[in-house]
Amino acid sequence: MNHNLQTKRPLLLLPILALTLFTSCFSSGDKPNELSDKEKIGLYYERALRYYEMRELDRCQDQAQKGLDLDEDNERLLLILGRCYQTRGTLTDVLYAEQIFRDHPAQDDYRVAQCLAGSLERKGSFFDEASIAVASGDRFTEAADPQARALELKADANEAWQESYETYEAALKLYSGSFETLNGLMRTSVYLDRFDDSFAWSTHFLESVAESNALFSKQLKENELRGVSTVQTEKTLLDNIDLEIQIRLHRSELRYRDGNTAQALVELDEILTLDDTVAEVYARRGQLLHSLGEYQRSTDALEHFLSLSTEKFEHPNVRQAFGILEKNKQALKRARQAAGQ
């Protein structure tokens, strides 16, 4: 990952969270030819869900479509079919997903709004990538004025992101506890150059994670007392730690962008209280401390990064770390020489 803190693109690009709405209703041992249409639809749905979770998207789509052949307006099957297209992620697939969510019969369901927002967000990214490629000459265009075409594509990207942002807001009004929606609001805020909004959403996100931690910590204790399995609860708490790490990395970059390097470091310190083995944190600390002229602390952080990193020497992150280490070495040498004069 490029650690250039000046980039306007958000580092927080969390993966789309697993669908929480899907529940199993029928045993996979049932035979479709012995079931009613309603039961067949349930079985197709269960199989589609299982394939989606395994990321076997073609098989997921096949099962969802079989169910929709029996009930073309089935809300759950339409939702998982759209999600399947969205996860596949090509421009064509994203456009299919967008249309499915726009036409979905359950427009008052936060999951439909959330999925539509995600499709619009990704569509905006495709337009943005095309705009950059056309402007640089890396992508052919039949337009008489390539630069004008690049600006049109950029405007299309902003339009898609704006609708995405508004749709995420609508989803949040329908259900305020969705991590995926809050994550989307953080991202699209940055795409729209609304960095203060992104930071505000990150604060909201952290509050939601804290509420989730309190709930599941209580549940963990109750399960332990009752002798009930705690595996899933512990996994949720660990997943929440990963979420908080990514949120604080994002906040650190936003702080740095605002010129508040000290607060950017505070966000990184908060991560280390959660997990002191995250290599990326030490790489960023090294960069930030170097920019503050704290060369020895920067060196210590970067050496720690190199001890934790599993990246090869040729990786840009590693090469950048060695470059800053050399600058630190020269700066410390000059300081010692100046002190000896």
| Mean pLDDT per 10-residue segment, the chain (341 residues) | 40 43 44 80 97 96 97 97 96 97 97 98 97 95 94 98 98 96 98 98 97 96 94 96 97 96 97 96 97 97 96 93 97 90 66
Instruction: Please tell me the distance from the alpha carbon of residue 94 to that of residue 85, in angstroms, as a whole number.
Output: 6
Residue 99 is predicted with a pLDDT of 98
Neighbours of 37 (CB within 10 A): 11
Residue 180 is predicted with a pLDDT of 96
Q: Is residue 205 part of a domain?
A: no
Q: Is residue 308 part of a domain?
A: yes
Structurally, how many domains does the chain consist of? 1
In the chain the first and final C-alpha atoms are separated, in Å, by: 42
Q: Is residue 302 part of a domain?
A: yes
Residue 203 is predicted with a pLDDT of 98
Domain, as residue range, for 281: 277-341
Residue 127 is predicted with a pLDDT of 97
The pTM (predicted TM-score) of the whole model is 0.85
Q: Is residue 94 part of a domain?
A: no
Q: Is residue 186 part of a domain?
A: no
Residue 23 is predicted with a pLDDT of 40
Q: Is residue 194 part of a domain?
A: no
Q: Is residue 289 part of a domain?
A: yes
Q: Is residue 9 part of a domain?
A: no
Residue 340 is predicted with a pLDDT of 79
Residue 31 is predicted with a pLDDT of 54
Give the residue among 301, 294, 247, 309 at the shortest CA–CA distance from 274.
Answer: 247
